[in-house]
Amino acid sequence: MNEVESKIAIVTGAIRGIGKATSSRFKREGITVIETDILPDQDRNDTYEESQSDFKNQFLVHDVTEEKSWKEVVGQVLNRFGKIDILVNNAGIGTLSDFEEEDEKGWETMLSVNSKSIWLGIKSVLPSMKEQKSGSIVNVSSIFGASGGFGKSASYHASKGAVSALTRNAAVRYAANNIRINTVSPGFIKVLREEKAIENAGDKMSREIIFRTPMGRWGNASEVASAIHFLAGPESSYITGAELFVDGGWMAA
């Protein structure tokens, strides 16, 4: 029997991109995945209740910025499965606005979606993970949480830097409870949202991304999903508080 066959995982922002790739990878490994997102997936062939009244195909509508929504999701998962083994805090947004272009509303939204959501997610699953004396949480940050990037995306950099710092803090706090908390920080990954943002920024940025990436290419969502799967599972049992860059060498250059 596969060691992770009976594991229960929540993956946020699971409709597309890295979240979707992670959910698919987990399912292939026999993990039961509850996919959450703020909007229904129009491409899905199955149906579900937006009121979150049932678990058809394990999808729940979820606003990661609201504690009430986290309590509803976690409560339903525990009622249905009795435990939560893995949480992947993947949901997030991004912009290219710099200091002078950003407004206060944009700043607050970015920090709420990208940073507050991580705090709420960790906080919401901790009671059950502490009770079962085990758990693995993987937070998705970014290379821009640990570098100055292009000098743009001020609020995005701040929000992702907060994710990385919060991960280290929580990892130290809950290591004694056998709860491991790690970060995966992608570089430039071929997902629709990121490609559109770079396309809007123009060819110069696209060329610079390739030039500054030692491996000379964009990454694939499946490559990030593999890193998340590793940190979520038993093969990384002595790793906590780590930040794994999946960036084609960007941070090493």
Q: Residue 149 region, left (φ>0) first, then alpha (ψ -120 to 50), else beta?
A: left
CA 31 – CA 146 distance, rounded (Å):
31
CA 80 – CA 86 distance, rounded (Å):
15
Exposed e or buried b per residue across 180-217, where buried means at least 16 C-beta atoms within 10 angstroms of its C-beta: bbbbbbbbbbebeebeeebeeeeeebeeebeebbeeee
CA 240 – CA 181 distance, rounded (Å):
5
Angle 110-223-134 (CA atoms, 0-180°, nearest 5)? 75
CA 187 – CA 249 distance, rounded (Å):
9
First-last CA distance in the chain: 42
Query: If you search the block for the tokens 């430039």, which residue do you land on?
Result: 188
Which residue out of 48, 156, 174, 238 is catalytically annotated? 156
What is the Cα Rg of the chain in Å? 18
Give the dihedral of Cα atoms 27, 30, 35, 41; nearest 10 deg. 30
* 156 is known as an active-site residue: yes
CA 160 – CA 79 distance, rounded (Å):
32
| Residues classed as catalytic | 156
